[in-house]
Amino acid sequence: MADRFVEGICPRCGYQDARGDQCDKCGNLLDPMELIEPRCKIDGATPVPRDTTHFYVRLDALQPQVEKFVEEHSPLWSQNAQSITYSWLKQGLNARSITRDLKWGVPVPLKGYEDKVFYVWFDAPIGYISITANYTDAGVEGGQDWKKWWLPDSKTDVKLYQFMGKDNVPFHTVLFPACLLGTGQPWTKLHNISTTGILHPLTLLTAEYLQYEGDKFSKSRGVGVFGDQASLTGQSASTFRYYLLSSRPESSDSQFLWREFISKHNTELLNNLGNLVNRVIKFLNSKYQGILPNYTQDTHDTAQIHKFEEDVNQLLSAYIENMDAIRIKHGLRLAMDLSTRINTFLQDNKLDNNLFNHFPERCAATLGAALNAVYLLSAVLSPFLPSTSDAIDEQINAPRLAIPDEWFVGDILPGHKIGKAQYLFKRIDEGEEEIWKSKFGGSPN
């Protein structure tokens, strides 16, 4: 049987429903033969052991090389990934079987072993390389462009970043690097890895998951909204992306709550971000026929613009620092803080008909700074909400701005013609909460 069809008690932590390949509670990889009181997941029968021949990767022989690799690269990794990896190394690496007696999978390409396939977690990471080969060469046989990524020369700087759930960490920080090191070739190896949560230093238990309304997501029970069901709510991908990223379980469990989903959409996406962009674009179209006025003529209060630029650059610097460190949730929070700061700037300057009619130079300076800041805002939001950034850039009528190391008013120059205003988001009725909770709450027993 496949490893996952064997369940039992984990020999490491005592968890009652450990699988034959891994324990979901303590995260340790297992062999089905290690399970206490093993049972078949399908019918509950006790599996019968049989002798067979398998191929192994000698992780024990590769441990010194793996330890050196981890020591060099792990300071950049998330705390979760570091803890899991060092726990493995401390326990000592053992030779691991990389073949299975199954009917499905990638066949072992050796005569006499055609009835065996490779274990998925030996085979799957190699797929990263083959996917690159197919993508870069468009499937053309004999193409070598993939080597620029996976076997680069000394002049080419390639860094591999990976993002995943914590249960997949050891395959990417230990097993796959060990296989690459074992070939003796200079393969591109993991540079940085981002996972959610932290490992408890005493119990070594990880429990950082996204829960659903106080329950566990379960596709079999119909509990929770999944990717192929999200469109049934009628809400945009941007709303789901924003909510899930802002709720990312980086240090503890987090909950998917429809009440919070609606609240974040209405208060943060609609009121903060959407209304900001709409206010600036509509004002320019209404008062200036969509043409950005000369915003360099106001000489009475240049200190305020300089203070605005200073504040924006502080947020930008923190954003870049967090994104470089793959602190995704913090990066998104700082992007929204930038939106809040632009809103405050407009409120402080009282952008309205009075400013337009009686203080034209101040009004133009305010709009020039605000539109340029919104252009930067679109850029820093693009990793999180790409379609929303596309819509903002379309209204500004400008190509995507490359995120700068330092920002100042001047990317969009006077005389630039903007596009038409369009709403980025629409308010969600609070009554939808009960409808969605019922729809995605699972079938009654």
Domain of residue 428, CATH code: 1.10.730.10
Q: In this structure, are 181 and 315 located in the same domain?
A: no
Amino acid identity of 95? A
Strand blocks (E) in 68-176: 96-97, 99-100, 117-118, 160-163
pLDDT value of residue 371:
98
Token couple for 280: 């600036």
Q: In this structure, are 353 and 429 located in the same domain?
A: yes
d(CA 116, CA 18): 25
pLDDT in tens, 314-352: 999 999 999 998 888 999 999 999 999 999 999 999 999
Q: Which residues of 60-81 are buried (b: 16+ CB within 10 A; e: fewer)?
A: eebbeebeebbeebbebbbebb
Show Cβ contacts of residue 200 under 8 Å, excluding neighbours closer than 6 positions: 206, 207
**3-class secondary-structure state, position 209:** coil
**3-class secondary-structure state, position 441:** strand
pLDDT in tens, 3-44: 878 999 999 899 998 988 888 777 777 888 899 999 998 899
**3-class secondary-structure state, position 116:** coil
Token couple for 385: 């909400």
Domain of residue 115, CATH code: 3.40.50.620
- CB burial of residue 97 (10 Å; 0-12, 13-18, 19+): middle
Q: In this structure, are 177 and 300 located in the same domain?
A: no
Contact 262, 428 (CB under 8 A): yes
Q: In this structure, are 126 and 184 located in the same domain?
A: yes
Token couple for 313: 């650059």
d(CA 134, CA 138): 5
Q: In this structure, are 214 and 124 located in the same domain?
A: no
The reported pTM is: 0.79
pLDDT in tens, 252-293: 667 889 999 999 999 999 999 999 999 999 999 999 999 999
Q: In this structure, are 40 and 179 located in the same domain?
A: no
Domain range spanning residue 36?
A: 1-51
d(CA 221, CA 421): 43
Tell me the pLDDT band of 445, cut-offs 50, 70 and 90: very low
pLDDT value of residue 207:
43
Please say if the pLDDT value at position 200 is more than 50.
Answer: no
Q: In this structure, are 230 and 372 located in the same domain?
A: yes
Q: In this structure, are 178 and 88 located in the same domain?
A: yes
pLDDT in tens, 48-103: 988 999 999 999 999 999 999 999 999 989 888 898 899 999 999 999 999 999 88
Q: In this structure, are 328 and 408 located in the same domain?
A: yes
pLDDT in tens, 120-157: 889 999 999 999 988 886 555 566 889 999 999 888 89
Q: In this structure, are 196 and 217 located in the same domain?
A: no
Instruction: Indicate the number of domains in the chain.
Output: 3
d(CA 419, CA 442): 45
Q: In this structure, are 188 and 225 located in the same domain?
A: no
Q: In this structure, are 245 and 134 located in the same domain?
A: no
Token couple for 367: 């709009």
